[in-house]
Chains A and B, each alone.
Chain A
């Protein structure tokens, strides 16, 4: 019962915050609602027994990405212009609604093979085994530092002052 209440609260908060991001005209309020939506997603992860993911969601999305976007908005000084919609507003709305109807139809009409096993209490050590252990995802884990290095270098090169 408590889980249901928590799910509905989190779902309403997350979806309405996301709606605020795309509908509000004030860019700064949109970022704040984006952070709220990230926090709601972290709550959904906790409901799904993914404690490690919830923690890094708060650290990376709320902490890092939220601050980065706020910083970019401050640097570009376009806040007075707001975030108006372009001429594709109505077609985009129709596409989004059609997408949602399609997803809903597909989800509700599929027989999911739901497992009856209970989820694990904690996932961190199991995830570590999955990522670093035998037959796991060690190669992608090794590729990630290269991606991050390329990201850091390209971000520095892109925003560096050209003398």
Chain B
């Protein structure tokens, strides 16, 4: 059986599910950020797979993937800066203990 669109979409879904589990079930804020990166990667794989198999000569999905990458880089930089600022103030990056704004 040759590799088709479905294989890449299932791979993307599996990666997204793993990232979802990590983002929901972890204490460490940096691990949560890493799980979000895995989810963004999964979405990019789906976009590129659609671009390759549905509209091979239009590249719209690849353009979206490029913008996703730009925003992911910006998000990581700001996210890690926030985590380091929190660590300076509260000596922890445990997401359960960062409850200053919890209602």
Give Cα A41–Cα B18 distance, bound, in whole angstroms: 14
Contact call B13/A107, Cβ cutoff below 8 A: yes
Q: For residue B71, which residues in chain A have a CB less than 8 angstroms away from its CB? A: 147
Contact residues of B between 34 and 64, Cβ < 8 Å to A: 34-35, 37-38, 41, 44-45, 48-49, 51-60, 62-63
Q: Report the contact-size class of chain A (Cβ under 8 Å from the partner).
A: 35 or more
Give Cα A37–Cα B43 distance, bound, in whole angstroms: 14
**Shortest Cβ distance from residue B14 to the other chain A in the assembled complex, whole angstroms:** 5
Give Cα A137–Cα B37 distance, bound, in whole angstroms: 24
Q: Report the contact-size class of chain B (Cβ under 8 Å from the partner).
A: 35 or more
Contact call B21/A72, Cβ cutoff below 8 A: no
Give Cα A137–Cα B60 distance, bound, in whole angstroms: 10
Contact call B74/A65, Cβ cutoff below 8 A: no
**Shortest Cβ distance from residue A111 to the other chain B in the assembled complex, whole angstroms:** 11
Asked if B85 CB lies within 8 Å of chain A CBs, one says yes
Q: For chain A, what secondary structure do more than half of its interface residues adopt (helix, strand, loop), or is it mixed?
A: helix
Contact call A53/B66, Cβ cutoff below 8 A: yes
Could you mark each residue 1-25 of chain A with 1 if its beta carbon is under 8 Å from any beta carbon of chain B, else 0?
0011001000100110011011000
With A11-B11, A85-B25, A127-B63 given, is the CB distance from A61 to B69 under 8 Å?
Answer: yes
Question: Which residue on A lies nearest to B14, using beta carbons?
Answer: A15
Q: For residue A91, which residues in chain B have a CB less than 8 angstroms away from its CB? A: 24
With A53-B62, A115-B53, A154-B81 given, is the CB distance from A64 to B73 under 8 Å?
Answer: yes
Contact call A131/B63, Cβ cutoff below 8 A: yes
Contact residues of A between 60 and 84, Cβ < 8 Å to B: 60-61, 64-65, 68-69, 71-73, 75-76, 78, 81-84
Could you mark each residue 123-135 of chain A with 1 if its beta carbon is under 8 Å from any beta carbon of chain B, else 0?
1001100110000
**Shortest Cβ distance from residue B70 to the other chain A in the assembled complex, whole angstroms:** 5
Q: Jot down 16 A-B pairs with beta carbons below 8 A, ordered by A.
A: A3-B2, A15-B14, A19-B18, A27-B30, A37-B41, A41-B41, A56-B69, A64-B73, A69-B80, A72-B30, A72-B80, A86-B26, A89-B25, A115-B53, A127-B62, A155-B81
Q: A47-B3, A48-B8, A50-B51 are in contact. List 16 more A-B contacts (CB 8 A).
A: A15-B11, A21-B31, A22-B35, A53-B44, A60-B73, A69-B30, A72-B83, A72-B84, A73-B30, A76-B30, A78-B28, A86-B27, A89-B25, A112-B54, A147-B71, A159-B85
